[in-house]
Amino acid sequence: MSKKTYYRIHNLLKLAEEDIYDDGCQPETAQTFEVSVEFQGKTAKEVVQSAADWLGVSWGGENNGVEVNAADEPGRVDFRRMEDDESGSLSPRKYAAWKNGQCKAWAVTYTGYVRKVTEETVKL
């Protein structure tokens, strides 16, 4: 019987709050959604990178939007970014408009959990 081991993130929880440039996040606007998506990889790092790439979030460096073992929870990964009303990334033009109070933007955190999965074929 064969075994297959891999790492995965199964579904993401999305928390979005309107962010007003001069006033910060507005807690009364908070919304949560479950995002039905799955990422797999040969290593934990690979699966986190796949999710970060899919979300358009940088991992590492000056604009790091990924926190691993977030809130001191092993395996928890938070991906943070700013979004427009259509859940898209803020373009430089929309970012400038948001800073000037001309459009809405949302501070968004996607949370997922990396799990090590071992699948084994069973004889029935």
Residues spanned by the domain of 98: 3-119
Does the residue 26 lie in any domain?
Answer: yes
Report pLDDT for 89.
Answer: 87
Cβ atoms of 111 and 69 closer than 8 Å = no
Q: How far apart are CA 91 and CA 82, in angstroms?
A: 10
Model pTM greater than 0.75? yes
Give tens-digit pLDDT for 89-112: 888 899 999 999 999 999 999 999
Distance CA 7, CA 91 (A): 32
Query: Is residue 12 domain-resident?
Result: yes
- Give 61's strand partners: none
Question: What b/e sequence results for 65-100 when a residue is b if at least 16 CB atoms lie within 10 Å of its CB, and e otherwise?
Answer: bbeeebeeeeeebbbbbebbeeeeebeeebbebbee
Q: What is the pLDDT of residues 5-52, one digit of tens each?
A: 999 999 999 999 999 999 999 999 999 999 999 999 999 999 999 999
Report how many domains make up the chain. Answer: 1
Question: What pLDDT shows up at residue 35?
Answer: 97
